Structure 1
Amino acid sequence: MAFGIKRWEIIDWKRKIDGGELAFLTHYWLDDRFPGCNTVTKVGCLDLEKLADWGKKHGLKKEWIHHRKDGYSHFDLIGERQKEILQKEGLIEHIWENKTERLEK
């Protein structure tokens, strides 16, 4: 279940993807399969080879891309790997240590 995301954030993420950029979107997310994880970062790109190459740089397999018919294919980053990759990419603003940190913005 996804929540804590604003419409303009989704629009901006899709605009970047449509423009061929790597786009990052972080939101709250709960799934019983991943206890202790409460956020996910979706990293998308229209150019799937560019996305796969980016993922390979971070130890992600091409097979892990969530392929979507609408053109917004992406990797899902969760847990410690999520935090590690976001730090390497310099995207500290996407790292939320607790629920209230993001909801107060």
Structure 2
Amino acid sequence: MAFGIKREDIRQWKRTIDDGEIAFLTHFWIDERFPGVKTVTKVGCRDVDKLAEWGKKYHLKKEWIHFRKDGYSHFDLLGEKEEWILRKEGKIDQLERLRHKLNK
């Protein structure tokens, strides 16, 4: 279950994807298959080959892409790998914003 994001965040993520760029969207997430995981970052791009190439530098496999017919295919980043990649990409503020909300 996803929560903690605004519709405008989703719209902006989709616009960035539609423009052919790599897009990041971090939100709260609960799934009993992943105990202790509270967030997920979706990293998407309309050009799946570009997305797969981007993922290679973080040891992400093309087969891990969630392929979507609507054009919003993406990797799901969780846990330590999520934090590591967000730091490398200069996007850690997305995760820190949610952590701040958890600590209120």
TM over 0.5: yes
What's 1:27 paired with? 27
Indicate if the aligned counterparts of 1:4 and 1:103 stay in contact, CA closer than 8 A: no
For residue 57 of structure 1, report the CA deviation from its aligned partner: 0.6
2-side partners of 1:4 and 1:86: how far apart?
18
User: 1:2-44 CA deviation, whole Å, 9 max, x = no partner?
Assistant: 0111000000000000000100000000001111110000000
Task: Please tell me whether residue 50 in structure 1 is matched to residue 50 in structure 2.
Answer: yes
Superposition deviation, residue 65 in structure 1? 0.2
Q: Which runs of 5+ in 2 are unaligned?
A: none
Code of the aligned partner of 2:6: K
State the TM-score, normalized to the length of structure 2: 0.93
Report sequence identity in percent: 65
CA distance, structure 1, for counterparts of residue 74 and residue 39 of structure 2: 15
Q: Residues 97 and 6 (structure 1 numbering): CA distance in 2 closer, same or farther, change over 3 Å?
A: closer
How many residues end up aligned between the 2 structures?
103
Q: 1:74 matched to which residue of 2?
A: 74
Q: CA RMSD in A?
A: 1.7
Offset at residue 98 of structure 1 (A): 6.1
> For structure 1, which runs of at least 5 residues remain unmatched after alignment?
none
